[in-house]
Amino acid sequence: MEVINRLKKIIEEKRITLTTLAMKSGFSRQHIARILKGETNVGIESLEMICEACGIKLSDLYTESSLSSGIKIPVIGRIPAGIPIEAVEEILDYEEITPEMARTGEYFALKVQGDSMAPQIMNGDILIIKKQDSAESGDVCVVFVNGDDATLKRLQKDENGIALIPNNPAYGIRYFTNKEIETLPIRIVGKAVEVRRSLI
């Protein structure tokens, strides 16, 4: 939040309105307001766009102390189809990632529901997810299938399509042809990069 607080202070000092920021950055007034209130996550690229709209550099927000502090991202319980991650309102908590990680893209955290990826990923675990629309074979991904809520599975690709593979053998593998990927559709939302588990 230190970085966001510095951004708010600069906006106030420059007397920049949310309307002006929205016009210059391409984000909605509502989304910018939520960012400034700390109610939604903001990736490094989005933060750069807002800084540019303010006429400053991203580095202007980082002091020596803020560089060592974590950046908060929201923990969500589900991802409804058709709703952008930044617009999901079911925020359960917040996790921190390093500024170095934040500079590599946009992230959110997902609380795992169910045991289809057990024992490597358990019910209740928190996954750090990097937002991206593509992935490689072997990656654990958040995927939309046929417009449903997102599912978490390991991706396996071949020339004819993709398989969504659970770690738990009690669940079946789902295979989709290249045509089905286009028509259903099948859409990758992000890639799991870290598992966080409570020891209690």
Q: Which residues are catalytic?
A: 116, 153
Using only C-alpha atoms, the chain has a radius of gyration, in whole angstroms, of: 19
Cβ atoms of 78 and 90 closer than 8 Å: yes
Stretch (H or E) spanning 30: helix 29-36
Six-digit token string for 132: 């991206």
Q: String of b and e for 48-57 (b: at least 16 CB within 10 Å)?
A: ebbbebbebe
State which amino acid sits at residue 67: L
